[in-house]
Structure 1
Amino acid sequence: MYKIDGEDRWILFVIGVAFATFLACKFSRYFGLSRDVAGVVFSWMAVLAVVTRLCSTLKGDFPRLRPSKTWPFLLALLWMCWWPALDFWAGQSMAPSPGQAQALPWWGPWYARWGVLAGIVALGSLARKILRHR
C-alpha cells in the first residue's frame, strides 16, 4: 500500500484546493450567485461544518456542546451563512426603473433577517425543551 510522506502532501493540497474550487463553482451556478458571493457563502458554510464537527468531537469534555443542546444555534448560524446570498438575490430582484422606488423582498431589510434569526433560536430552544421533557 502506498504511504503518503511529507514530499507528496503538496499533491494532496493541490487536489483539495482544485476540488474545493470545483465545488464552489458548481455551488455558484446551482444557486445563481456570482462567484464572489458564492465563495463567501461556501466559506462560511465550511466554517460552520468545522464548528459543528468540533462540537461533536468535544461533547464528552464539554457537555454543553452536545448536538442536542447546540442545534438551534447551529441552525441559526446556517441562516446567517446565507445572508450574503440574500443580499445578492434582493439586488437581482430590484430592477431599476426611473422615478419609482422599488420595495425590497421580505428578506431584504435587516430587521427581517434578525427576526428570523431570533425566531430560529427561540423556536429551536423551545422545541429542544419540549422534546427533552418527553
Structure 2
Amino acid sequence: MSKVDREDSWLLFVAVVALAVFVVWKFAAYLGLDMAVAGPVLARLAVLVVLTGLSWRLASDIPPLGPKAVWPFLLALLWLCWWPALDFWAAKELASSSYEETLPWWAAWYTKWGLLVGLVALGYLVKKAFGRY
C-alpha cells in the first residue's frame, strides 16, 4: 500500500492550480477575453454543469427537478453565463468607437434580461405544447 506524504501534497495542489490557470488562459485567448473575465465565465459554466448533473441525478427521485422538466431554466442559465463576456466585448467596442457612448444592443440590459425571460417562457411554452410532462 502506498501512503501519500503530507509534504508532497502541495505538489498536487500546485499542479491543479496550474492546470486551472492554463485552461482559463487558453479559454480567454480563444475567445479574445481578459483573464479577469474568462474566470467568471468558466466558473459560471462549471456551476451550470454541476446543476445539470444534479438535475440528471435527481430525475428518478424527484421528476419535477429532472432535465426534461427544467431544460428551459438551464438554457437561460447558459445565456446568463456569458453576460460578463458580453460586457467585456461591449467595452472593447466602445473603446474602439469614441463617437458612440451607449452600449451595443446585444450587451444592453434589456437584451440580456429580455432574452433570459424569453428563453424560459418560450422553453416552457414549447415544453407544454409538445411534451406530456
- Which TM-score tier does this pair reach, normalised by the shorter chain? 0.7 to 0.9
RMSD between aligned residues: 2.2
Instruction: Look up the SS of the partner of 1:107 in the other structure.
Output: helix
For 1:28, the equivalent position in structure 2 comes to 28
CA 1:45–1:6: 2 relative to 1, 3 Å = farther
CA 1:55–1:14: 2 relative to 1, 3 Å = farther
For 1:83, the equivalent position in structure 2 comes to 83
For 1:65, the equivalent position in structure 2 comes to 65
CA 1:60–1:10: 2 relative to 1, 3 Å = farther
Instruction: Look up the SS of the partner of 1:45 in the other structure.
Output: helix
Instruction: Look up the SS of the partner of 2:101 in the other structure.
Output: coil
CA 1:96–1:126: 2 relative to 1, 3 Å = same
CA 1:3–1:120: 2 relative to 1, 3 Å = farther
For 2:109, the equivalent position in structure 1 comes to 110
Q: 2: CA distance between counterparts of 1:110 and 1:130?
A: 30
What is the TM-score when the length of structure 2 is the normalising length?
Answer: 0.84
* Unpaired stretches in structure 2, ≥5 consecutive residues: none
* Stretch of structure 1 that moved more, 32-41 or 4-13: 4-13
* Unpaired stretches in structure 1, ≥5 consecutive residues: none
Q: 1: CA distance between counterparts of 2:111 and 2:37?
A: 20
What is the TM-score when the length of structure 1 is the normalising length?
Answer: 0.84
